Chains A and B, each alone.
Chain A
Amino acid sequence: MEELFRFLTAEGVDAALVEAARAFRRDHPAAAEDQNRVPVPEYFYYGRRTWELALAALLAGKNLLLAGPKATGKNVLSENLCALFGRPMWNVSFHVNADAAYLIGTDTYNGQAVVFRPGPIWLCARKGGFGILDEINMAKNEALAVLHAALDFRRSIDVSGYDRIDLQPETRFIATMNYGYAGTRDLNEALTSRFAVLDMPLITGEDLNKLISRRYPEINPKICDQFVRLYEELERKAESAEISDAALDLRGLLDAVALMEQGLTSGDALDMCVVNKSFDAYERGLIRDVIAARIPSDLTRDVVFGK
């Protein structure tokens, strides 16, 4: 994971914070049986300021809520943080039917007796992991109430009818929530107050440029710049609700570059990874118009990668 530390240094992230993260990692190594839960990130999160805020919060023992619209890198950052601190990750996807049993654990019969079957939050707390609470605002507030004691100064979970466990000191929770078009609901105050809230900025053109260039170092810089501008234009179109945010997909754009590297033309690659993300024929037409105003459809690998 040295590469990630080098990356942070190169990005200009505060050296003291980086060193503190390194010390945390050294002092709290993951157990051998949990090593497979420590993620190895494919992409690095770009955004010096956001890194500094997130590191400071986690080092201070706080839980983190990453709030922002689609494609702001919430999951990339949370995965990067787990990797940097070298802690096993439990990813909990929230949905409307998520309840206390799903999060903490449930009763079941093992053939001889009714026993407790632990849920991901319980396991994360016992093993000092990083719990990623994905799309936390999708869940009902009453389901989240069981997390209150785990997330505040008590740092404990009382499993009704069983035992009360204390969180390992390394345990942190990183929640993500989406807001924007169609207005997902805000979290209630009781839960929000238990997190340090990081308002995730939209990725800047400069950072997106770095992200693509780092992943595809041989890409022609001028063409890379046009991809960045294309993304910004799609972003504006989605913001004005002229298209849904289906096509506003950072992963899709990166995938399109990957397909061009494999030899597809720009038109085919962008069709597959960006345009066809929308299932509405008219909307696809609008997205194609935006692409046609930026990227010729016949760019080949040799042109895109300057080979």
Chain B
Amino acid sequence: MIKKQFTASARRARNIIWNAAGRYDFEPPFMAFFPNGAPDHYFNMVVGLVEKWLEMPRIWAFFESYGTDRRAEEFDEFLWLGLENCVYEKEVGERPILAKLRRDRAERFSVQQGMLSRQQMEYQSMPVYTQQEARWAEVLGKNAPLLTPREKRMAQALKFPGSLDTDGVLAAMAAFLKTFFRFEPSGEETPLRRGGALSRLLLRHEHRRRDRLLVRTGTGEGDHPRAVHLGHDGLGRHTAPTEEDEAYIRAVFGRSVISDAERRVLENDLCVDADADCRVWVTAGEGVDTAHREAADVRESSLLQRERNQAFLTENAAALQHTIKALATRMETVLSSYLRHLPEPSRAGQICPEKAYRLPILQDSRVFLKSGEEIEQEIFVDLLLDASQSRRNMQETLSAEAYVVAKSLMALHFPVRVSTFRSIRGYTVLDVLKSASQTDCRGVTRFYAGGWNRDSLALRLLGHMDDDPVMRGKQRILLIMTDASPNDSTPIAAMDRWLPREYEGAAAVKLTEDAVRSLRAWGIRVGAVFHGNSIHMEDLNQIYNHAYVRIRKATQLAQGISDLLLLLLREMRND
């Protein structure tokens, strides 16, 4: 009933939980779904109410304490019945509809009861089922099923009263397990967790050397059983990348499009302070060394991903064409409002002296000028995609979205360059999928996810890539598709500290915020297209200072991108 689950409907479940909790700054440890995959509205509310009324981390720790026991799922189901009663009693006074929702839930149980097949009944834990049946029958005011004296005592014990606080609930949960299952949680960390901490220590010294580009697979629709999360096992070795690393980068990503001398100049400018231990690499994906053993693996996986991206474009061609048209239309409206309008003759407005003679002589009153329909084409758009491993469950979607944005801008004759960035072995690699002069957008299907993301360095690197003749005399706009969670295995250089710090969390966010600020100071308008979790919203806001939109699915793309463009153009116009 209540499980850790990440499906397409999980966001709806999360929203129900957050709403009941009255807070949106936590990731619910549990979500409830019906067997058909739809969110269980009532029980998700119960989860939210536990967060509201009790201390969820302590409750969660209790659930974790028996996580390795074979009866864990059964215990979960029992204890959630107890919690349900407790938070129901606490909340119903200020939310009278809860009584109705509880009755609806009870009725749904009794309807489903009759629909369960024999096989489904076999999978069901009978003791749990009996307790649920007893609870919901009581809610509906029906006769309770026939219970043994032990079951009656269990049903009674599971009515955790609303007067309990967290300590009281924990005591009631422990007492229940002890009385009826002779189970006593140890209160210690499980062996699994201790192992995790231990392995961190062992990995400490060789960590970064083991960085390999992993390209994965999945359906690409975000329904991978676990959200992708990159963790740091310990501080990486504090050394600069070696020639061996450079050979790896060249082999995997292709030769650099800038000469070694230019790259050294770039690194002198960019790889300083916090990025002092980093290097940069700019490529167009050409010259990959297939003879290199590790590169061959990546090559194979990336080609496979390219095929998937292309298949996704083909399968969704009609919908994508519709989005391209919608986005192009919206952008045209936005751009025509904000870019400089060329003046046109009118019957009112600012008088045009050289035409004034036409008034008395020719009786022509169109001697005034007003802002016309025609506009100047004066912007250059950089579309930058975070290609780190955290994006690996949405590769096809991201590639398709980049394709849509690029196509829409090109339909309006605006030059657009599409690049990806990732960091690996101390190198931040900028891979140009589509240059501004290319008219074919299919290059964006080269997108694949793998590696880390050192957003701050990538942003500054792209900021320096200003030698394309197409962008001369144009206002640069940079749209970055991001999850606002910068993370790299190369630590922040020690500078005046004793030890380097990991490039992650608040420190990485601050560095990225500084990078965005410096780009803005150079006159580049930066906006973010956010595809991430709500828990990163604050970081997103800190880094991009309101210049962002959140996109959850492709149908929101047209509205989101045009809103963002509107915001950036408004800034541009007002400066």
Contacts and interface: CB of A to CB of B under 8 A. Distances in A.
B547 A296 contact: no
Nearest to A109: B365
Contact of A289 (B16, B100, B350, B359): B16
A181 B566 CA distance: 13
A290 interface: yes
Contact of A293 (B97, B546, B556, B573): B97
Interface stretch (B18-26, B310-318, B438-446): B18-26
Contact of B24 (A183, A242, A286, A296): A242
B571 A185 contact: yes
Contact of B545 (A99, A183, A239, A296): A183
A301 interface: no
A209 B293 CA distance: 70
Contacts of B368: 106-108
A114 B347 contact: no
B140 interface: no
Contacts of A292: 41, 97, 101
A227 B95 CA distance: 11
Contacts of A296: 97, 100
B546 to A, nearest CB: 2
A96 B15 contact: no
Contacts of B553: 282
A60 interface: no
A293 B101 contact: yes
Contacts of B337: 96-97
Contact of A101 (B19, B41, B349): B349
A141 B570 CA distance: 10
Contact of B97 (A99, A181, A239, A295): A295
Nearest to A108: B348
Interface in B513-546: 534, 537, 545-546
Nearest to A106: B348
Contact of B347 (A109, A188, A286, A289): A109
B350 A107 contact: yes
Interface string A276-295: 00001010011001101111
A277 to B, nearest CB: 14
A140 B574 contact: yes
Interface in A171-224: 181-185, 188, 222
B574 A188 contact: yes
Nearest to B21: A236
B571 A289 contact: no
Interface in B1-53: 12, 15-16, 18-20, 22-25, 41, 45
Given A107-B368, A293-B20, A183 B349 contact: no
Contacts, number: 112
Interface string B351-366: 1000010010000010
Contacts of B347: 108-109
Interface residues of B, number: 52
Nearest to A232: B22
B550 A141 contact: no
B50 to A, nearest CB: 15
Interface string B69-107: 000000000000000000000000011110011000000
B271 interface: no
A233 interface: yes
Contacts of A229: 94-95
A188 B571 CA distance: 11
Contact of B534 (A97, A184, A240): A240
Interface in A263-307: 280, 282, 285-286, 289-290, 292-296
Contacts of A233: 19, 22
B40 to A, nearest CB: 12
A289 B12 contact: yes
A28 interface: no
B464 to A, nearest CB: 26
Contact of B570 (A96, A293, A295): A96
A237 interface: yes
B15 A289 contact: yes
A233 to B, nearest CB: 6
Contacts of B95: 226, 229, 293-294
Given A240-B24, A241-B537, A293-B45, A182 B567 contact: yes
Contacts of A108: 347-348, 368
A141 B574 contact: yes
Contacts of A242: 15, 18, 24, 534
B107 to A, nearest CB: 15
A182 B563 contact: yes
B97 A286 contact: no
B537 A106 contact: no
Given A96-B338, A183-B545, A183-B546, A285 B12 contact: yes
Given A97-B371, A242-B534, A290-B19, 6 more contacts: A101-B350, A109-B359, A182-B546, A282-B553, A292-B97, A294-B95
Nearest 7 pairs of A and B residues by beta carbon: A183-B546, A240-B24, A108-B348, A109-B365, A96-B337, A107-B351, A106-B348
Interface of A: 96-97, 99, 101, 106-109, 114, 117, 140-141, 181-185, 188, 222, 226, 229, 233, 236-237, 239-242, 280, 282, 285-286, 289-290, 292-296
Interface of B: 12, 15-16, 18-20, 22-25, 41, 45, 94-97, 100-101, 337-338, 341, 347-351, 356, 359, 365, 367-368, 370-371, 534, 537, 545-550, 552-553, 555-556, 563-564, 567, 570-571, 573-574
15 contacts: A101-B349, A101-B370, A107-B350, A108-B347, A117-B348, A182-B546, A182-B549, A226-B95, A240-B24, A240-B537, A242-B534, A286-B12, A293-B16, A293-B95, A293-B97
